């Protein structure tokens, strides 16, 4: 049904993955300082920023509209963090990224990559955070801990806000710059006549 991936789509997915990988790393630096300052609650401050890690998937999907692009970009970003910049989580971050990417992509896949409203972005971010929460919970042994529910709520809210709605803001800002003119996001909206 859809044309195969253009080389530009491949490049864009990888470039976004790498750029966000770098930005995530900048975020980690800020957040490590924050978590040391917050002392015993250091772990919790992470959850507030967690959504930021989900950004790249919805941004990439919205621009290329190719199935799987969000997962690939998210995994690329984590690869950058693990392999080139060094992340304290190590290679398991790749698995976490895979879950995040899949979670973020499901809502767009269900609408067959046709609807890109605020709601879809928010669900995408929340679902990404929700899926990866369980992996982290198992790994860090959060079950039975006092803060279990608080952790879940904080992470999902952060996912919806920073990993979903912020993605839409970024996409429309990028679109206004004109760099996306050769991608599906601009082509498709130009090809489809406006419907009432």
Site for other proteins in 126-185 (CB under 8 A): 138-141, 144-147, 170, 173-174, 177, 179-180, 182
| Residue 12 or 123 with smaller CB distance to other proteins | 12
Write out the binding residues for other proteins, residues 11-30 only, by CB under 8 A: 11-19, 21-23, 26
Tell me how many residues contact other proteins (CB under 8 A): 56
Q: Of 133, 152, 110, nearest to 53 (Cα)?
A: 133
Using DSSP, state whether 112 is helix, strand or coil: coil
Residue number with CB closer to other proteins (44 or 161): 44
Minimum Å distance from CB 10 to other proteins?
5
Instruction: Give yes or no for residue 73 binding other proteins (CB under 8 A).
Output: no
For the CB of residue 160, give the shortest distance to other proteins in the complex, in Å.
Answer: 20
Spatial neighbors of 132 by CB under 8 A, at least 6 apart, are 96, 99, 100, 103
- Nearest CB to other proteins, comparing residues 100 and 123: 100
How far apart (Å, rounded) are the C-alpha atoms in residues 54 and 45?
Answer: 16
Helix, coil or strand: residue 10: helix
Q: Angle CA(60)–CA(110)–CA(65) in degrees, nearest 5?
A: 25
Decide whether 17 or 163 has the Cβ nearer to other proteins.
17
Whole-angstrom Cα distance, residue 80 to residue 77? 5
Output b/e per residue, 161-188; b: 16+ Cβ within 10 A.
bbbbbbbbebbeebbeeeebeebbbeee
Q: How far is the CB of 19 from other proteins (least distance, A)?
A: 5
At 136, list the tokens: 């982290």
Q: Is 48 in the site for other proteins (CB under 8 A)?
A: no
Question: What are the structure tokens assigned to 112, written together?
Answer: 């067959």
Member of 48, 49, 67, 92 binding other proteins (CB under 8 A):
92
Least distance (Å) from other proteins to the CB of residue 58?
A: 14
Instruction: Record the tokens describing residue 106, joined without a space.
Output: 């499901």
N- to C-terminal Cα separation, the chain: 25
Question: Which residues are near other proteins by CB under 8 A?
Answer: 6-8, 10-19, 21-23, 26, 32-33, 35-36, 39-44, 76, 80, 82-84, 86-92, 94-95, 138-141, 144-147, 170, 173-174, 177, 179-180, 182
């Amino acid at each position: 049904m859809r044309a195969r991936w253009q080389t530009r789509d491949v490049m864009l997915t990888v470039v976004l993955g790498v750029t966000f990988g770098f930005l995530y790393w900048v975020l980690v630096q800020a957040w490590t300082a924050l978590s040391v300052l917050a002392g015993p609650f250091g772990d919790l401050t992470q959850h507030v920023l967690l959504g930021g890690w989900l950004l790249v998937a919805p941004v990439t999907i919205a621009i290329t509209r190719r199935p799987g692009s969000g997962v690939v970009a998210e995994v690329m970003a984590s690869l950058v963090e693990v392999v080139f910049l060094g992340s304290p989580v190590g290679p398991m971050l790749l698995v976490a990224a895979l879950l995040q990417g899949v979670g973020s992509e499901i809502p767009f896949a269900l609408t067959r990559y046709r609807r890109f409203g605020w709601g879809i972005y928010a669900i995408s971010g929340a679902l990404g955070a929700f899926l990866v929460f369980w992996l982290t919970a198992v790994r860090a042994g959060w079950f039975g801990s006092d803060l279990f529910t608080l952790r879940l709520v904080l992470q999902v809210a952060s996912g919806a806000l920073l990993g979903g709605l912020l993605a839409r803001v970024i996409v429309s800002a990028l679109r206004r710059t004109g760099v996306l003119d050769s991608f599906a996001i601009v082509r498709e909206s130009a090809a489809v006549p406006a419907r009432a």
